[in-house]
């Protein structure tokens, strides 16, 4: 076994001509996530039946079942899940456990916000849009 004193020299010289591997985030937004990466998820209220299974199974207690605003009653129970993204650990147990596959999944991962960010607006907008069906 021959010992070399500068074993990495060739590697280092080869890297001198290459671009740095470091991503200059957030100046250059070139972060790519793999397709199907677990990002922000929210319930499609046209599909949701208000069964609360996602809230029961959520390991971070990030999902609260909230009352639907008065004119909107799309499921007999009148409740819908609100995900608190500050608490959510993005394990997708809610997506898996949902009996009607009501969760819409995205790969959005930039969730830093000045105020508490929840899925309320997106979920309610699914009704305004007429759902994704």
Partner 1 sequence: MVVVEIPIGPQHPALHEPIMLKVKTDGEEVVEVAVTTGYNHRGIEKLLEKNSWIRGMYIAGRVCGICNAVHTQTYVQGVEKLMGIEPTPRANYIRTMVMELERIHSHLLICAVMAEIVGFDTLFMLIMRDRERVMHLKELVTGNRVHADIHVLGGVKRDLDEVRRTRILDELRKIEERLKYYKKVYETDYTLVRRLSEVGRISKSDAIRLSLVGPTLRASGIKSDVRSDDPYAAYSEVPFNIEYRDEGDSWARMMVRLDEALESVNIVRYTAEKLPQGPAVPKTVPRAAKPGEVISRVEAPRGELLYHIVSTGGSNPYRVKIRTPSFLNILNTESTYLGHRLADVPVIFASYDPCISCTERVIVVDEKSGKKAYVSLKELARGG
- Among 49, 65, 97, 124, interactor with partner 1 by CB under 8 A: 97
Q: How far is CA 28 from CA 23, 32, 86, 98, in A?
A: 7, 12, 25, 37
Binding of partner 1 at residue 93 (CB under 8 A)? Answer: yes
- Among 96, 106, 116, 121, interactor with partner 1 by CB under 8 A: 96
Closest CA to 80 of 50, 102, 125: 50
Binding of partner 1 at residue 8 (CB under 8 A)? Answer: yes
Binding of partner 1 at residue 120 (CB under 8 A)? Answer: no
Q: How far is CA 26 from CA 33, 81, 115, in A?
A: 15, 32, 20
List, in sequence order, every residue forming a beta bridge with 117; answer none if it has no partner: none
Q: Stretches 29-37, 64-72, 73-81, 123-131: which one binds partner 1 (CB under 8 A)?
A: 29-37
The binding site for partner 1 (CB under 8 A) comprises 1-5, 7-8, 11-12, 21, 33-38, 57-60, 89-93, 96-97
């Amino acid at each position: 076994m021959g010992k070399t004193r500068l074993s990495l020299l060739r590697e280092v010289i080869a890297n001198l001509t290459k671009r740095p591997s470091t991503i200059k985030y957030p100046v250059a937004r070139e972060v790519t996530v793999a397709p199907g990466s677990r990002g922000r998820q929210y319930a499609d209220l046209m599909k949701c039946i208000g069964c609360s299974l996602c809230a029961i199974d959520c390991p971070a207690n990030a999902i609260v079942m909230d009352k639907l605003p008065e004119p909107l009653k799309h499921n007999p129970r009148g409740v819908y899940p609100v995900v608190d993204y500050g608490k959510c650990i993005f394990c997708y147990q809610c997506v898996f456990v949902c009996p009607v596959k009501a969760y819409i999944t995205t790969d959005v991962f930039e969730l830093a916000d000045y105020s508490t960010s929840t899925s309320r607006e997106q979920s309610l907008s699914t009704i305004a849009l007429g759902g994704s069906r």
